[in-house]
A and B are shown apart, each in its own frame.
Chain A
Amino acid sequence: MIGGTDIILENLGLDAGEALDLVARIASRQWGQAVFVDAQSGRRFDSFASAAFGSLSELFVFRDENARQAWERDGLEAGHADTMVYAIAGDEQLTLVIADPDAATLRTVIAELKDSLAFGTPRSTWQSRRSAA
Chain B
Amino acid sequence: MSAAILRFHYTDKGGRNGIRATPTWRFRSSKPPGPHPTGAYFTNLDETTPYLAAKLCIPRRKLSHCFVFADDRGLKQLDGGRGRYEFYSDGDYHVETDRQTRHGETSL
- Which positions in A face B, CB cutoff 8 Å? 1-6, 8, 37, 39-42, 58, 60, 71-77, 84, 86, 88-90, 93-95, 97, 99
Give chain B's interface secondary structure class: mixed
A74 vs B79: C-alpha distance in the bound complex, in angstroms? Answer: 26
* Total B residues in contact with A, Cβ cutoff 8 Å: 33
A6 vs B33: C-alpha distance in the bound complex, in angstroms? Answer: 11
CB-based contact B42/A77 at 8 Å: no
Which of B55, B58, B79, B84 neighbours the largest number of chain A CB atoms within 10 Å of its CB? B55
- Which positions in B face A, CB cutoff 8 Å? 9-11, 32-36, 41-43, 50-63, 78-82, 84, 86, 88
CB-based contact A84/B86 at 8 Å: no
A35 vs B11: C-alpha distance in the bound complex, in angstroms? Answer: 29
For A72, the chain B residues whose CB sits under 8 A away are: 51, 54
Question: Can you list 14 A-B pairs with a CB-CB distance of less than 8 A?
Answer: A1-B58, A2-B57, A2-B82, A2-B88, A3-B34, A6-B36, A42-B51, A58-B81, A71-B53, A75-B54, A75-B58, A86-B57, A88-B81, A95-B80
CB-based contact B34/A4 at 8 Å: yes
| Chain B min CB distance to A70 (Å) | 10
Report if A60-B54 is in contact (Cβ < 8 Å); known contacts: A1-B62, A73-B60, A74-B59.
yes
Chain A, Cβ-Cβ closest to B57: A4
CB-based contact A75/B62 at 8 Å: yes
Report if A76-B84 is in contact (Cβ < 8 Å); known contacts: A1-B10, A3-B33.
no
